[in-house]
Every structure is written in structure tokens, then in C-alpha cells.
Amino acid sequence: YLDKIHTFNNHLGAFLQVADREKLLSLADESDARWQKKQNKSALDGIPIAIKDNIHVHGLKTTCASRLLHNYSPPYEATCVEKLREAGAIFIGKTNLDEFAMGSTTENSATQQTHNPWDINKVAGGSSGGSAVAVSAGMSPLALGSDTGGSVRQPASFCGIVGLKPTYGYVSRYGLVAYASSLDQVGPMARDVYGATQLLNAIGGFDERDSTSIRSAPVALEALQRNIAGKKIAILGEISNYINPHVAKVFEQSIESLRSLGAEVTEVEFPFFDYVVAAYYLIATAEASSNLARYDGVKYGQREERKTYQEMLTATRSQGFGKEVKKRILLGNFVLSSGYYDAYYLKAQKMRRRICHLLNNILHSYDAIVTPTTPNTAFTKGESEQDFMKVYVADVTTVIANLTGLPAVSIPCGMVENLPVGLQIIGGALQEQQILNIAYQFE
């Protein structure tokens, strides 16, 4: 894997930081010895894992691809990383992202550009674009991403790999740099469903250091083998109005495949597509504006020295944050300000509640809901800069899982003009096993 990074990373820009070669090799040797003595700590013992650079790993920097944190070394490790370390996994490096995970293309990174391995002129997706490319191009067998509004699933879809956002609370957020706390989840990225499941099992579970953490059982690997005949799968009515016709065609073929596996696929009503993106961006930016208030030049990262505190604070934030982050802080402050709170933030919360209610109702009668992961294949470079609304609106399919806290997996399901298309399977709360079983059988 180190050789592949050496060969490809200059062209693809997936890794921001690669761990020390000698250290990695000695960890690999230690793991080899454990396997030989059959004293390996887990199935992941000795397996390299790439970590999105907004998750703290002991001994590596966490930059969030921001100027503000370009030299920041975290004093502690994320719970999910700690668990992987105990399982014997090896952290091969930190991967590129949109600054503070805000974006859908990884073009908002202050550090470098990441390119889609299927077509260099296309984006990798985002915000976990670096992790997706690392796995897609074979630079790491597994990776962690974070998903606040699709950031694991959308780049997985654009790069032709598997990505899962677990149920909110399934994976501890301790040590994940907060973007929008009520939506954030860490998720596994892998070449196949089996790998994603193994990684999920290693990072999941209760953690008292995250107040929203929940108790959950790991996914039984044998359960992936179960036949899915008779499973009830819903598709959301009117979705075809929101997706590109070529993607729609691949989606229809996927539905046929599910049917041929014996699943019953039925359309159900979902009248909220016009509201999900608006609700998501209002809530996400509101929470982001609050979370990012901590970067004041005192507690973390880069400080721009000035005569007064106020000047220092202003200069630190003005120079430290990129354009997209500033836009979102402004929008978040706006929707939370008195006079606008009721008109925007509160309405978004009400809409979130209605979406939750409806999706949970659907999932009382169905085993899963399927959608294309994204309305289109990977964007062309620069599209986001030209028309950011177009890129925001393309989150329509993924954000429903974050607003509701439900688990959702993206798996490759076909190609349009040589670019991968993803199928998203959404399940009821804590039904990871259900959606991974369907995904495994589909794959």
C-alpha cells in the first residue's frame, strides 16, 4: 500500500499526511508475528486504514484541511481510532477533505486538490473525498470518513466503493471534529460490503465520552449470507423528478436486480423532497456556526497576533477560514439570530420532525428504502465554484438519512459514461444488519 501511495498520491491527492514508513513497517512485522502465533487481536490486525483528517489519531496531525489547524496535533485520540488500534489496525495516513467537512467535492480543502481515479477531470466527491480515493485507487484497503450530510456515501458513490453512515449514536463522535453535532457520524469506507461491515463492527459501540452514544450489537457476519427473498423494499415516489435520467436508468436496473433476488419493491409517497436540502443546510449551518466559535486563536491552532483580543480574533478567523466555511458561519448566525430564528431555524426543525416521522413510519412496514446515492455521477472540477446551489441540491438523496439519524449504505450499482453510480439502502434505526445483508446480496 505504501508503494501505491508513492506511485499514485501525487496524481490523486488523497493523502494529506502519510505515517512514518519505518514505524508502519515495524507495526506490520509485529502484526505478522501475532498472526503466525495465531495471537492476532482481530480480523483487522495488521490491516492499513486511512483516516479522514478531521478524526484524531495519536501521533498524527488533525488539520481538517484548514489553514487554521494546519499545524494542529491533537492531545487525545478518537474513540473509533482507539478501538481500531486495540484491534491491531495500522493507521497509514490522514486523508483530504473539504475544510471542516463542508462541501461535496473536496475542492474546499485549503491544502490540496483530490482527483477522481476514474476520471482525473472529475471531483472525488466530498467531503470524505480523500478517503474514497485512497480506497478506490488501492492505496488503502479501508478508510474512515465522516458523514454529516452524505460525506461518506456520496464520495463512495462517485469513486465506486462502499460507504456506510451508521445510525446516529452507533459510533462515538469523541475525537471527531464537530461540524453539525446532531447530524455527524463516523462511517466505514471499503471496497466491498464485507470489509465495510468488519470495519463498522470494530468502531461501533457505546462510549460514555459521547453523550449521544447508544448501546448496539455488532452486525453478525453470517447474517450477510441470508437470502433476501420476501424482503419489503420501498422506493420514494417522485424521486425520478430529482435525478438525472441516466442515473435513473441504472437505478431501475438495480430495482430489477433486487426483484430478481426475491425482494418486493413498492413505491411509497414521500412529498418532502423539496424541503430536505433546505432543512439540512439551515440546521447544519446553524450548528456549524456554534461549533466553529471555538476557533478563536486562543484554544486551538493558528493565531494571528494583534494588539487587542478583538483584533486577534478577527484576524485569526478571517485568515484561518476559507470561503465556504465563512459562508456557512454567516448563514448559521443569520438563521439563529432573533427575528429570523422562527422564520428559518425553527421551521427547519419542524420539517426535520415531519421527515423523521414519515420515514420511520415507512420503515415500520418496509425492511429498507432504496434511492440512488446521488442524483448524478461525479461533478466536473470547478462546477461547485460556478454554481454552488446545484451542488447543494444534489445532497437531496443523502441528507434524509442524517436528518432522521437512520443508517444508510452506498454500494456501486452501475456506470454512466465510465463513472460509477451508487445505490443507497436506508434502514430503520439500528438496522445496520438488515441494510448490509441486502447490500451484500445485491453486490
Alpha carbon dihedral 288, 289, 295, 297, in 10-degree steps, equals: 160
CB of 152 to ligand GLN, least distance (A): 7
CB of 14 closer than 8 Å to CB of 95:
yes
Name the segment binding ligand GLN (CB under 6 A); options: 97-105, 248-256, 271-279, 429-437.
97-105
Angle at 337 between CA 331 and CA 341, to 5 degrees: 90
Name the segment binding ligand GLN (CB under 6 A); options: 143-151, 220-228, 351-359, 413-421.
143-151
Judging by beta carbons within 10 Å of its beta carbon (0-12, 13-18, 19+), is residue 290 exposed, middle or buried? middle
Residue 329 phi/psi, 5-degree rounding, is: -65, -40
Cα–Cα distance measured from residue 69 to residue 278, given in angstroms and rounded to the nearest whole number? 29
Name the segment binding ligand GLN (CB under 6 A); options: 65-73, 101-109, 255-263, 342-350.
101-109
Residue in 62, 116, 148, 441 binding ligand GLN, rule: CB under 6 A:
148
CB-wise, 179 or 440, nearer to ligand GLN?
179
Name the segment binding ligand GLN (CB under 6 A); options: 100-108, 112-120, 304-312, 426-434.
100-108
CB-wise, 154 or 433, nearer to ligand GLN?
154
CB of 299 to ligand GLN, least distance (A): 22
Residue 179 in the binding site for ligand GLN (CB under 6 A): yes
CB-wise, 90 or 101, nearer to ligand GLN?
101
Closest residue to bound ligand GLN by CB: 151
Residue 99 in the binding site for ligand GLN (CB under 6 A): no
Active site residue 257: no
Name the segment binding ligand GLN (CB under 6 A); options: 26-34, 146-154, 187-195, 197-205.
146-154
| Number of residues this chain uses to bind ligand GLN (CB under 6 A) | 14
Please count the other Cβ atoms lying within 10 Å of the Cβ belonging to residue 324: 18
Please count the other Cβ atoms lying within 10 Å of the Cβ belonging to residue 154: 33
Q: What is the DSSP letter of 227?
A: -
Angle at 178 between CA 311 and CA 130, to 5 degrees: 105
CB of 206 closer than 8 Å to CB of 159:
no
Residue 420 in the binding site for ligand GLN (CB under 6 A): no
Residue 125 in the binding site for ligand GLN (CB under 6 A): no
Strands 368-372 and 232-236: parallel
Angle at 181 between CA 180 and CA 184, to 5 degrees: 80
The dihedral sign for the CA sequence 360, 365, 367, 368: negative
Residue 64, phi-psi category: left (phi > 0), alpha (psi -120 to 50), beta (remainder): left
Active site residue 337: no
Residue 150 in the binding site for ligand GLN (CB under 6 A): yes
CB-wise, 156 or 284, nearer to ligand GLN?
284
Residue 424 in the binding site for ligand GLN (CB under 6 A): no
User: Where in 233-292 is the site for ligand GLN (CB under 6 A)?
Assistant: 284
Which positions lie near ligand GLN, rule CB under 6 A? Answer: 101-104, 127, 146-151, 179, 284, 395
By annotation, the residues acting in catalysis are 52, 127, 151
